């Protein structure tokens, strides 16, 4: 029997998206020689997110902080698996995601990793926006979207840094990669099992928003601007 997996999904009013996320995770777990628990961390939800999560047999955790690091860490604290996987509620993993994660981690040469991320749709504005944030990501040498690692390594680096209100995932990946390097372990990417993510931010703000607002992007990547974080993440679906 392979190690047990704990999938952690932060969720703030995600009724419109979480069914697709949970069904994709269910499909990825079919026939897997490992147990999978799915933990949904409810964050100030006022819609049907909880009902949907319970109907899919998820473990429910509540954390109302406007801080994704705190939210993700709350899910990890409830996890019983030896392997931690994080995925946003508006994303859909590939049917082979769990198998690829187990294959790579069980080989013992990789500390953890991310995934190839594909948007659910393309446009010139989305491409331009992706190019505009590329310089902020390129120096890290890591992939993003869905993170996975042994829980022991997650705990060793202290999980997600709660000082960040944005780009906490970039910081986590950078620190996990550095932690692995100390033991001669590399960083992995699920190239053969890409993650498909929604374009709701582009739907809400416009496909060209990030490209046309470089000052906003700079503030996002500083990680400590509360006003920017609330505008783009924490309060955008509070109505």
Rounded to whole angstroms, how far apart are CA atoms 49 and 12?
8
Query: Per-residue pLDDT averaged across 217-232, rounded?
Result: 95
Which domain, by its residues, includes 193? 5-118+143-198
Q: Give the pLDDT band of residue 237 (cuts 50, 70, 90).
A: low
Q: Is residue 95 part of a domain?
A: yes
Question: Does the CA dihedral 197-199-204-207 come out positive or negative?
Answer: positive
Q: Give the pLDDT band of residue 144 (cuts 50, 70, 90).
A: confident
Measured in whole angstroms, the distance separating CA 158 from the mean position of its chain's CA atoms is 17
Note whether 193 and 97 are within 8 A (CB).
Answer: yes
What is the full DSSP assignment across 140-188? Answer: T---EEEEEEEHHHHHHTTSS-TT-SS-HHHHHHHHHHHHHHHTT-EEE
Residues 6 or more apart from 237 whose CB is under 8 A from it? 12, 13
Q: Give the pLDDT band of residue 1 (cuts 50, 70, 90).
A: low
Q: What percent of the chain has pLDDT over 70?
A: 98
Q: Is residue 125 part of a domain?
A: no
Q: Is residue 159 part of a domain?
A: yes
Closest C-alpha to 129, from 55, 53, 220, 65: 220
- Report pLDDT for 119: 97
Please tell me the least confidently modeled range out of 45-49, 141-145, 212-216: 141-145
Q: Is residue 15 part of a domain?
A: yes
Higher pLDDT, 142 or 208: 208
* Residues 177-200 pLDDT 10s: 999 999 999 999 999 999 999 999
The domain total for the chain is 1
Q: Is residue 37 part of a domain?
A: yes
**What CATH number should be reported for the domain holding residue 56?**
3.90.550.10
Residue 185: left if φ>0, alpha if ψ -120 to 50, beta else—which one? beta
Rounded to whole angstroms, how far apart are CA atoms 190 and 195?
8
Token digits of residue 55: 């109907």
Size of the chain in residues: 239
Q: Is residue 73 part of a domain?
A: yes
Note whether 71 and 161 are within 8 A (CB).
Answer: no
What is the full DSSP assignment across 41-90? Answer: EE-S--SSHHHHHHHTT-EEEE---S-HHHHHHHHHHH--SSEEEEE-TT
H/E stretch holding 201: helix 200-205
- Report pLDDT for 127: 97
pTM of the model: 0.95
Note whether 84 and 154 are within 8 A (CB).
Answer: yes
Residue the block writes with tokens 């931690």:
84
Residue the block writes with tokens 């609330």:
230
Q: Is residue 106 part of a domain?
A: yes
* Residues 90-136 pLDDT 10s: 999 999 999 999 999 999 999 999 999 999 999 999 999 999 998 88
Query: Per-residue pLDDT averaged across 215-219, rounded?
Result: 96
- Report pLDDT for 159: 98
Note whether 113 and 187 are within 8 A (CB).
Answer: yes
Q: Is residue 79 part of a domain?
A: yes
Note whether 156 and 182 are within 8 A (CB).
Answer: no
Q: Give the pLDDT band of residue 141 (cuts 50, 70, 90).
A: confident
- Report pLDDT for 238: 47
């Amino acid at each position: 029997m392979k190690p047990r997996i704990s999938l952690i999904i932060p969720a703030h009013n995600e009724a419109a998206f979480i069914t697709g996320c949970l069904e994709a995770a269910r499909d990825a777990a079919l026939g897997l020689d490992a147990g999978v628990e799915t933990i949904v961390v409810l964050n100030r939800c006022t819609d049907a997110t909880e009902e949907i999560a319970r109907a899919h047999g998820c473990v429910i955790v509540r954390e109302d902080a406007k801080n994704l690091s705190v939210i993700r860490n709350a899910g990890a604290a409830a996890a019983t698996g030896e392997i931690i996987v994080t995925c946003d509620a508006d994303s859909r993993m590939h049917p082979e995601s769990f198998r690829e994660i187990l294959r790579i981690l069980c080989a013992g040469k990789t500390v953890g990793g991310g995934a190839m991320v594909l948007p659910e749709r393309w446009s010139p504005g989305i491409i331009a926006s992706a190019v505009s944030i590329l310089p902020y990501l390129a120096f890290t040498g890591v992939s993003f979207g869905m993170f996975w690692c042994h829980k022991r390594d997650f705990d060793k680096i202290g999980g997600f840094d709660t000082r960040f209100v944005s780009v906490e995932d970039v910081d986590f990946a950078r620190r996990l990669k550095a932690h692995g390097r100390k033991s001669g372990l590399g960083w992995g990417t699920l190239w053969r099992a890409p993650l498909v993510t929604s374009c709701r931010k582009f739907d809400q703000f416009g496909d060209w928003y990030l490209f046309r607002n470089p000052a906003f992007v700079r503030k996002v990547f500083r990680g400590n601007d509360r006003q920017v974080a609330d505008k783009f993440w924490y309060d955008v679906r509070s109505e």
